[in-house]
């Protein structure tokens, strides 16, 4: 079983690339963002706690995220492998993920050096409230204004896709997540892709790394 780990600041294209990898290479996309949003939509006690953190641009604590991820990757629908999108964010999470055995692991850092590019990408982002497809009012607008191309559901903006929350997420990312790259570099599985390139080019480079 292959585990693909996508790293990158908010807006680096992790979700877009993960969904395409799932579609074209048949590995399951495991998005911690989706796991969190599902819990919030259920309006559980845990979901309400996470909503406060998400709306403020803060990350969910390690112990909660680790439990959510373990439950998902142990699901019987994951056969050939999976793509981690948004996890691990900390060295503690990385060590916990390593304990889940796989036959091969590839970590890919989607690097975007210009913060302004990241902010503009996120501010233009639209997400399907039903199937999770991602669009951009600038780079990839839907065929019908505000409507998903795939399931014709209304597109929405995430509550935390505002400039204040974005900059806070980037600040936390650099403080907490970049050290995780050293962990995977020491494991000998870290690769880097220039995520400021065109989307298809980025995908081609990722495909070369996981084949």
Active-site amino acid positions: 14, 89, 125, 158, 169
How many helices, marked H, and strands, marked E, lie in the chain? Answer: 9, 8
Spacing of C-alpha 95 from chain mean position: 18
Angle of CA points 157, 144, 132, to nearest 5°: 40
Return d(Cα 147, Cα 17) in angstroms, integer: 21
Report H helices in 26-103. Answer: 32-41, 45-55, 62-73, 91-98
What lies within 8 Å, CB to CB, of 56 at 6+ separation is 160, 165, 168
Of 133, 142, 171, nearest in space to 34 by CA: 133
Evaluate the CA torsion angle 77, 79, 84, 90 in order and state its sign. Answer: positive
């Amino acid at each position: 079983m292959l585990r693909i780990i996508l790293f990158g600041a908010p807006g680096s294209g992790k979700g877009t690339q993960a969904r395409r990898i799932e579609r074209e290479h048949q590995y399951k996309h495991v998005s911690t963002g989706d796991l969190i949003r599902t819990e919030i939509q259920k309006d559980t006690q845990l979901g309400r706690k996470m909503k406060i953190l998400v709306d403020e641009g803060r990350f969910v604590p390690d112990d909660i995220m680790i439990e959510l991820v373990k439950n998902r990757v142990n699901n019987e629908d994951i056969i050939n492998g999976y793509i981690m999108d948004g996890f691990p964010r900390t060295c503690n999470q990385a060590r916990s993920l390593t304990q889940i055995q796989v036959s091969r692991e590839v970590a890919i850092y989607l690097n975007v050096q210009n913060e302004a590019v990241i902010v503009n990408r996120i501010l233009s982002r639209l997400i399907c409230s039903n199937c999770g497809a991602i669009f951009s009012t600038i780079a990839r607008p839907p065929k019908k204004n505000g409507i998903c191309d795939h399931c014709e559901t209304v597109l929405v903006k995430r509550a935390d896709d505002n400039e204040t929350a974005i900059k806070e997420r980037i600040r936390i990312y650099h403080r907490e997540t970049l050290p995780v790259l050293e962990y995977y570099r020491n494991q000998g599985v870290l690769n880097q892709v220039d995520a400021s390139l065109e989307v298809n080019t980025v995908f081609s480079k990722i495909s070369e790394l996981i084949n």
